[in-house]
Structure 1
Amino acid sequence: MNPRRGLLDLVLLLLAVVVFLLGLGMLLGGGYLLYLGGSAYFLVAGVALLAAAVLLYRDRLAGVWLLAAVLLGTLLWSLAEIAGKGWMPVWPVDLLTRLGLLAGLTVLALLLTPHLARRAGRSTRLAAAPVLGLVLAAGGVGALLWLLTPAYVSHSGQDVAAVAPADTPDSTDWIAYGGSNLAQRFSEADQITPANVAGLEQAWEFRTGDLPTSDSMPYAFQNTPLKIGDTLYVCSPSNQVFALDPGTGEQKWHFDPEILEESKEHVFSTTCRSLAWFEAPEPREQCQRRLLLGTLDGRLIALDADDGSPCSDFGDDGTVDLTDRMDPQAPGYLSNTSGPTMVRGVVVVGHQVTDNQRRDGPSGAVRAYDAVTGEWRWTWDAVWRTPGEQPAEGEVYPRGTPNVWTALSADDELGLVFLPTGSPANDQYGGDRLPEEDEFTASLVAVDAASGEVRWHFTTVNHDLWDYDLGAQPALIDFPTADGPRPAVVQATKFGQVFVFDRATGEPLLPIEQRPVPQGAIEGDWTAATQPFSPAMPDLGSLPGQAVERLSGAHTWGLTPLDHLYCRIQFERLRYEGMFTPPTDQGDGSLQFPGILGGVNWGSAAFDSERNLMIVNNNRMPVRVKLYPREEAEEMDNIAPIGAEEASYIDQNAQPMLGSPVAALRSVWLSPLDMPCAAPPWGFLSATDLGSGELLWSRPIGTGFDQGPLGIPSRIKMPIGAPTSGGPVATRSGLTFIAATMDDYIRGFDNATGEMLWERRLPAGGQATPMTYMHQGRQYLVIAAGGAYQAETTGGDSVIAYALPQ
C-alpha cells in the first residue's frame, strides 16, 4: 500500500472511518435488535459496512462495490417494508431517509474510484461514470416521484350530494366559538371562492402585546375571535380582551383582568380559546350586550360589549368566583381555558384541572349561572347527583371528578347543553375510581339547560387509562339517514372514532361495536375487556380510513440509519399490542397510539352542510408512557405538584399523580435527534361524506420548514404531514381554511377535492382555529397567530385578517 498523502488520501481515509463507525453502530445495535426479535437488516448491513470500511482503508476497489451493494440491498429492503405497510402517503420521504446517508457515502466512494485505482497501481480507465450515472438517475427518479405527487391527495371519485344546512343564520356573524352553539365551524359567507381565493391578501394585522413574562408560562394563542355587529372580540392568552374594528383591525377598547403570574404557570396551556356573547332580552341601562370571560385564575367575568367595563349587576361587581366550593389548592390549578357557553339565558362554564397532579384535585363540576345577575342556577358532576343543590358553605364538591375542559355546545331549541367530559384528576391510574366516575369519564353528556339534569349520556372509553378524554367540541348537525335528516350530535374522539347520536334521545344513528382490547393493567388497577368503535365512520386516530392502523417495526423512522435503529430498538422494548395497550411500570413503559393529543383534539371538525361533508384534521403521533412506583417517584427531581416548592407544570420531569401508587412520564416518541420515531405523515386533513360514511379525500398537511433535528428549522418546504394543533373552518363557497400545523402557514383547500388553492406565511405559529365573516360587503378570514409552547412553534401576538382586494 502506498504512503497516504494529499487531499484525496485524506478524504478516502475519512470516508473509511465514517463507514467503519456507521457499520460498527449498526452491527452492535443490529445484533441487539435481532435479539429482541426485530429485523436482521441492521446486523447484516453493519457487517457489510465494516468489511467495506476495511477494504477502502486498504485501497481496495472492492470496498466501493461492497458499499454500493449495501445501498442496493437497503433499497430493496426499504421498498419491501414500505410496500408492506401499504405505500403510505409521503412514502418517498421514508425511502429518502433510509437511503440518504448510504447514498451519499456511496456516491463519494464512486467519485474516488480513479484515485483508488492509482493508489493500487491499476489502470484508471474504470467504469465508475456509468455506475455513478445509475445512482444519480435513481435519485432523479425519486425526485421526480416527489415532484409528481406534491399534494398527496387521495380522492374516492364519489359525487358529493348537497343537503339542507342544519342551521341557517341570518347573517355571517361568528357569535360563538364554533360559529354558533351548533359548533359546525361553517360560514354562509361565500365571497371568497375556489375561483378567486388565490387573490386573498392581508387586509390588516393587530398586535395584542400579550407575551409570556417568564420561561415557565406555556403560552398558546389559541383564540377564535367572535364577530358581532360592527365589532370583533379577541381574547389573548392571559385573558386580556380586545374589541377591534372588523374592517381595519383598529382597537376600540381593551380589558385586562390582571391574571396572577402563578396561574399562568400552573396550566397545561396558558390560553383563552373563546368568549361567550349574550344580549339581554329586556332593555337595560348597562350591559345590554355583554361578553362572558372565563379566566385562568378561576373567575367568570361579565363585560359590557360596547366599552369593556365590568357589568356591575353580574355577581360581585362583574365577577363570579369559580373557585367557590372547589378548593383549587394552587393558583391556576382550576382554570377556564376554552370559554363559557350561553344557552337560554344561562352561562354554562366548565374548567380544566391540570393533569396528573393529585387525586384529590378540584372537582370537575360544571356550573351554570344566570347571564344577567350571575346567580348560581345548577351544577352537573359525575358524583354530585343533585344539580339543584350546592354543598354547604365551607364544604366542597366531590374532589377529582371528571372535568369538562374543552368547549361545550348547545341546542337552544331543545334546551340541551352537550358536555364532552375528561378524566378524573389522575389520568393513567384508575384503580381508585368510583363507578360513577368511570361512567362519566370521556363521556358525551346531554344536560337540561334549565335544571342541569342528565337527559342521556354515552361513555366513549371504558375505564380510560390513556387520557382519551373528549377534546373535540360536539357538533350539532342534521345527519342524513334512510328516513331523512335527523337532528344529531357528532362526537369525534382522541382515539379516532366518530360517534353519531340522535340529539334529543342519545340513540346511536350509526352502529357501535364493543371490540376486545389488550389486557393487563398494573397491580391495583384493571382494564375493560372491550372498547366502543364506530365502524361506519373513518378511523381518524392514525392513517385516515375505515381500518384501525397498527404499528410494526417497519413504521419506525429516522434521519440516519443509527437514529432509525435507536427507534427500532425502542419499539421492541416498549409494550405495544395495538390500540388501548395499557400503561405499565415495567421495562421502558408502553407505546400509546394514538397519542394523548389525538386523533382529534380541541380543534374539532368543520361541517360543510352544502356538500354534506365533515372536514377534520387529525394527528398520527405515538407517545411513550412509563409509570413509576411511588417510592421511585419520590427520588425523582422536579416532580413536586404545582403549587409546591414554586413548581410549574412545564418544569416537571414526570407528573406526580399524588394519591395514586404511581407517577407518570408521558412524552412524544422521539429519536435522539428530537425527531418523531414514527415515519411520516404525522398530520392529515380529511373529508368524509356523511351520507355514505366513506372518506372522500385525505391529505397530509404541513411541512418541516420551521422544524427539524435538534430543533433546528430545516427550511425545506416539503409536504410531509406535520402534527396539528387547531382546527378548520368551512365556507358555503366550498373552501376550508386551516393553519394548525407546526410550520407557520395558513392554507385554503377545495372542499370537494382536497386540492390546496391558497397558502400564506404567518409571523408566528397558527395554533388556533380561524373564522370568517362579512363586513361592509367584504369577506374577511381571521387567524390568531401567536404559536403554542406545547407545539414548539414560533411565538407571537398577531391577529391577522385576509380579504380579496377591494
Structure 2
Amino acid sequence: MTPLLRTLALLASLSLSTHTIAQGTADKESVPGSPSASENSVETGDSEEVQAPTYPATPQPSDAPAPGDWAAWGRGSSASRHSPLDQITRDNVDQLEVAWTYRTGDLPEGSDQESKYSPENTPLKIGDSLYLCSAMNIMISLDARTGEEQWRYDPQVAKEAIPYGATCRGVAYYEVPGAPGDQLCATRVIEGTLDARLIAVDAETGELCPDFGDSGMVDLWQGIGEKVPGWYSVTAPPVIVQDVLVTGAQVKDGQAEDAPSGVIRGFDAVTGELVWAWDMGKPELNGLPPEGETYTRGTPNMWTTAASDEELGYVYLPMGNSAVDYWGGNRSEEENEFSTSLVALDVNTGEPVWHFQTVHYDVWDYDLGSQPTLVDFPLDNGSTVPALILPTKQGDIYVLNRETGESLFPVEEVEAPGGGVEPENLSPTQPSSGYHSLAFPDLTEKDMWGMTPIDQLWCRIQFRRASYKGKYTPPTADRRFIQYPGYNGGNDWGSAAVDAERGILIANYNDIPNHNRLLPREEAEERNLRPIYAGGENEEEQPPAEGAGDPQIGAPYAIDVNAGWRAPITGMPCTAPPYGGIRAIDLASGETLWDEPLGTARKNGPFGIPSHLPFKIGTPNNGGPVLTAGGLIFIAAATDDLIRAINIGTGEVLWKDVLPAGGQANPITYEVDGRQYVLISAGGHHFMETPIGDYVIAYALPEGEG
C-alpha cells in the first residue's frame, strides 16, 4: 500500500473510532488497557449516543518477546537482558565474524561537538527489522539480515539541545491494539529527543504518525517553564504499560535549584494525549499545571530507563537526586522522601504505590542509574515471589517484592558519619543491603598507587589532606573529600542481567573514587562558574567530567569533582587497578560465584598515550551485559574498545574483537532466518574518552556453521 493510501486508511479509521484513556481511572474493562464504554461513547447529531468501535488490548512484543527478537531496551518489559538463543555456544563462539557493518552518518561536527558525543544506543529487533536512534535522535530502521537501511527519520535536533552528552539509548516499539495491519502507524516506533519531544513514526515507512500528538510529536516542554536548550532532555527510551507511554527526562545536573521539574508523565500511546502527571511537589496535580505555572521545579528526575509489569500495571522508576546534588539545605520534604528511590507508579492513576530509598539525604550524586530487572525470585521452599533486582551506584544490590516494595533480604540501617557543611541535615544512618554489594573495603593510604613515584607521593599527600570517613563521607568546603565509590561507581545505566534458568545474576561495575570539594559562592564567582541559562561557557571551556565546576545556583556552594581522582602529572588514577570488573552472583543467595577485571591496558596509559599492552587491568566501563542460553555473556563497555564473549560459568574470555570506536552501549542478540547475530553500536563516549564513531556491527557464525 502506498503512503497516500495508508494515510487515507488511517483517516477513515479515525472517523469511526477513538482511543482515549481517562485520567485517574483505576478500574478498566474486562481486558486491561482497553478503554471503558463511557470513554468511547460519542454523540450523533440527533443527540443519540452510539458506541464507537473499541480496539481490544493485545499483548505487546515487549511483554513476551519472540525467541529471536529484542523487543525492548532490556529485551522485554522485565529487562532481563537474557536471550533463549543458543546457536552460538561456548564451543563455537571463537568462530564469530563480522556479518555486516552499518554507519549512521551521525558524527560530530568539529572537536567541540566531539567532546559531547556519547550515543549509548541499543537497537530493538522485531520481526525482520532493527530499530535504532543515533546520537542526535535520527530514527533508523535496518534489515536485520543485511544491515541495509530501510528508512530514516531525522527530527532535526539542534546542536544547542545537547545536554551533558548527545545520547539516545534507544526507542520503544508499539502495536496499536486491533488496528488493521495496513493502517499507517498500526505499528510505530517512539523516541524521546534531546530537545524534549516525543516523536512517533510508522514502523514500516518512518513516516510521522498524524494521530499522535501534533502531527506525530508531543512537546514535553509544556508545563516545564522557559525553554533553555540542553537543560531538559530525554536520553532514555520511554516505557509502555497497558497502552500508557511513560517518560521522565534528564535535567542537567548541578546548574541551579530552580531547575526544570523532574515530573514523570504518562501519555496515551496512540493519541499522545496526556493521561497523567506525577509531580511529587504537587501530588494533587494530575495533568498540566494551571496557566502561568509550572510543575514543581528542582525535583528529582528519572534520566535512565524504567521497567514495567504489564499484569500489575506498575512502572518502576529509578529516580535521581534533586537539582543540586551536593548540598540539600533547601530541599523539600517530598524531595527528601523520593530522591534516590525506586518508585512504583500505577499507570492507571499516575500515583505512587510504593517507593524504596537507597540513600537518605543524598549529597553524593548516588542517583539510581540502573534499570531494575523483574524476576520470579526463587525461595528456599521451591516457590517463587514476584520480585525485582535493583543495583545501585554505591554498590548495594537490593531484591524487592515488586508488588509491595518490601525487601526479600534484611536491610540494615548502618551508622553514617557526620560533619561537613550541613551536619544538622545529614541522615545519621544509611541503608545497607543484606543480599549483595559490589563495593570494596574502604580506602587506606597504602591504596594510593600512582603510575610513577611522583604520582604516588602526590596521591598519598592528597589522601592525608582530604576528608575521608568511608562510603558516605560528608561533603566539605575547607578541603577536598573522597567519594568512594564515585558517582560512576557500582552499577550504572548499563544495568545488570539475569539468567533465571541458571540462577545467575551478572553485573559489571566501576571501582574508582572521586576527589571533590564544595566551592563557596565567592570562589565559584571568581572562577566564573555560570549556569546553563546564563549562556556562554564556564571558565573551564569543556569540563572533563560532569560536576567539574557546576555552579549549583541557589545553594551556598558550587561543586568541583575530580572524577576518577586523577594525578596531575600522568593523568592516571590515584588508586590501583582494577578500576572496573564483572561479577557473577548466585541469584538465590547473593553469593559471589566469580569476579574478574573487565578491560585491558591496550588503549590506556599515562599522559593519555595508549600502552598497547594486552594485560587485563580492569578499566572504567559504561554499558551492560547480554546473556544467552548458549552460556555466554556478551559485553563491550570497557575503555579498551573490545567486545567480548565470556563464559558465564567461569568468567573466562572466550572471544573478543576490536571495535572501530568505543563500545559504551548494551549489545543485543537476535535471530533471523535461523541465524543468530550479536550486535553492538560502537559510537564511543566523551566521558569515557573512547573514540567517537557511528558504527552498528553485527556478528554471526560463518554461513552453514552452528
Is TM (by shorter chain) over 0.5? yes
Measure the CA separation in 1 of the matches of 2:676 and 2:310.
28
Q: What is aligned with 2:646?
A: 749
Q: Deviations over 1:640-682 (max 9, x none)?
A: 1113232379735510000110000112200121001000000
Secondary structure in structure 1 of the residue aligned to 2:345: strand
TM value normalised by structure 2: 0.88
TM-superposition CA deviations, 1:58-112 (whole Å, max 9, x none): xxxxxxxxxxxxxxxxxxxxxxxxxxxxxxxxxxxxxxxxxxxxxxxxxxxxxxx
* 2:507 is equivalent to residue 616 of structure 1: yes
8 Å Cα contact 2:171-2:191 kept in structure 1? yes
Q: Per-residue displacement from partner, 1:173-232 (whole Å, max 9, x unpaired)?
A: 111100011111111111111111111111000011111124343101200100011100
Please say if 1:626 is aligned against 2:626: no
1:269 is matched with: 165
- Match of 1:513, SS state, is strand
Match of 1:782 in 2: 679
Q: Secondary structure of the residue that 1:659 maps to in structure 2?
A: coil
SS at match of 2:533: coil
1:573 maps to 465
Equivalent in 601, 616, 629 of residue 492 of structure 2: 601
Displacement of 1:330 in angstroms is: 1.2
Q: Deviations over 1:760-779 (max 9, x none)?
A: 11001100010000111000
- Which letter maps to 2:578? P
CA distance in 1, matches of 2:698, 2:387: 33
Q: Is the CA contact (8 Å cut-off) linking 1:582 and 1:590 kept in structure 2?
A: yes
- Mapped partners of 1:541, 1:347: distance in 2: 35
Q: Which residue of 1 aligns with 2:86?
A: 190
In the aligned structure 1, how far is the partner of 2:343 from the partner of 2:638?
Answer: 31
Q: Does residue 563 of structure 1 match 2:455? A: yes
Return the offset for 1:425: 0.5
- 1:553 matched to which residue of 2? 445
Aligned to 1:473: 371
1:306 and 2:204 equivalent?
yes
CA contact (8 A) 2:131 2:141 kept: yes
Cα deviation per residue 1:246-281 (whole Å; 9 max; x = unaligned)? 1110100011111111112xx122100010110001
Aligned partner of residue 398 in structure 2, secondary structure: strand
Aligned residue type for 1:660: A
User: Is 1:667 aligned to residue 574 of structure 2?
Assistant: no
Deviation at 1:327, TM superposition (A): 1.5
Counterpart AA for 2:490: G
Query: How many pairs are equivalent?
Result: 630
Query: Helix, strand or coil for the counterpart of 1:651?
Result: coil
Range moving further from structure 2, 649-658 or 234-243? 649-658
Within 5 Å, which residues of 2 pair with 1:45-124? none
C-alpha deviation, 1:733, in angstroms:
1.5
How much does 1:625 deviate? Answer: 1.1
Structure-2 change in CA distance of 1:777 and 1:390 (3 Å)? same
Contact kept? 1:520, 1:526, Cα under 8 Å: no
**Could you tell me which residue of structure 2 aligns to residue 349 of structure 1?**
247
Contact 2:681-2:695 at 8 Å conserved across structures: yes
Contact kept in structure 2, 1:431 and 1:524, CA below 8 Å: no
- In structure 1, the partner of 2:588 is 691
**1:230 aligned partner:** 128
Contact 1:300 1:320 in 2 (8 A): yes
| Aligned-residue offset at 1:386 | 2.6
Q: Which residue in 2 is equivalent to 1:507?
A: 406
- Distance in 1 (alpha carbons) for counterparts of 2:137 and 2:288: 28
Corresponding position of 2:531: 641
SS at match of 2:458: helix
Equivalent pair of 1:681/1:721 in contact (CA under 8 Å): yes
Mapped partners of 1:470, 1:185: distance in 2: 18
Correspondence 1:372 to 2:243: no
Q: The residue matched to 1:268 in structure 2 has which SS?
A: coil
* Partners of 2:63 and 2:76 within 8 A in 1: no
Pairing partner for 2:608 from 696, 707, 711: 711
Partners of 1:386 and 1:695 in 2: CA distance: 45
RMSD: 1.5
Query: In structure 2, which of residues 415, 429, 432 is the aligned counterpart of residue 516 of structure 1?
Result: 415
The one-letter code sitting in structure 2 at the alignment partner of 1:496 is G
Q: Deviations over 1:323-364 (max 9, x none)?
A: 100015410210000111111111101100000001000000
Range 448-457 or range 325-334, more displaced: 325-334
Looking at structure 2, the residues matched to 650 and 608 of structure 1 have their Cα atoms a distance apart, in angstroms, of: 45
- Quick one: which of 329, 332, 340 aligns to 1:431? 329
**Aligned partners of 1:242 and 1:251 also within 8 Å:** yes
Q: Which amino acid aligns with 1:767?
A: Q
Equivalents in 1 of 2:477, 2:247: separation in Å?
36
Separation in 2, partners of 1:232, 1:240: 14
Is the Cα–Cα contact under 8 Å of residues 494 and 541 in structure 1 kept in the other structure?
A: no
**Separation (CA, whole Å) in 1 of partners of 2:83 and 2:122:** 14
Q: AA paired with 2:689?
A: E
Aligned to 1:174: 70
User: Percent identity at matched positions?
Assistant: 49
Deviation string, structure 1 residues 436-482 (Cα, Å, up to 9, x no partner): 10110000001001111111111110000000000000110111112
SS at match of 1:643: helix
* Counterparts of 1:384 and 1:768, CA distance in 2: 36
1:773 correspondence with 2:670: yes
1:360 aligns with 2:252: no
| 1:521/1:527 contact within 8 Å kept | no
Structure with the higher helix share, 1 or 2: 1
Counterpart contact for 1:293–1:339, Cα < 8 Å = yes
Q: Any gaps of 5 or more consecutive residues in structure 2?
A: 1-61
Higher Cα radius of gyration: 1
- Gap regions ≥5 residues in structure 1: 1-165, 543-548
Q: What is the rounded CA distance, in whole Å, between the counterparts of 1:394 and 1:190 in structure 2?
A: 57
Aligned to 1:403: 301
Q: 1:329 to 1:640 in 2, by over 3 A?
A: farther
Distance 1:635 1:189 in 2: 58
1:244 to 2:142 alignment: yes
Asked if the contact 2:448/2:576 (under 8 Å) is kept, the reply is yes
- Equivalents in 2 of 1:797, 1:661: separation in Å? 42
**Cα deviation 1:391-442 (Å, max 9, x = unaligned):** 1123100000000000000000111000000011010010100111011000
Q: Give the deviation of 1:524 after TM superposition.
A: 8.0
- Report the alpha carbon displacement of residue 600 of structure 1 after superposing the two structures with TM: 0.6
Question: Offset at 1:322?
Answer: 0.3
Distance in 2, Cα, partners of 1:463 & 1:307: 48
In structure 2, the residue matched to 1:534 is 433
Which residue does the alignment assign to 1:339?
A: 237
Contact residue 240 and residue 246 of structure 2 kept, 8 A = yes
> Could you tell me whether the CA contact under 8 Å between 1:431 and 1:525 is conserved in 2?
no
More strand by share: 2
Distance 1:214 1:298 in 2: 24
Match of 1:727 in 2: 624
1:541–1:619 contact (8 Å) kept in structure 2: no
How much does 1:168 deviate?
6.2
Distance 1:328 1:502 in 2: 40
* Cα displacement (A) at 1:387: 5.4
CA deviation vs aligned residue, 1:466-522 (integer Å, no higher than 9, x gap): 000000001101111124211101110000001111111112111100000111130
What residue number does 2:95 align with?
A: 199
> Aligned partners of 1:521, 1:344: CA distance in 2, in Å?
46
Aligned AA (2:510): N
- Which residue number corresponds to residue 84 of structure 1? none
- Alpha-carbon distance between aligned partners in 2 of 1:441 and 1:328, rounded to the nearest angstrom: 24
State TM-score, norm by structure 1. Answer: 0.77
Contact 2:64 2:76 in 1 (8 A): no
Cα distance in 1 between the residues matched to 2:488 and 2:688: 11
Work out the CA distance in 1 between the residues paired with 2:328 and 2:503: 40
What is aligned with 2:317?
A: 419
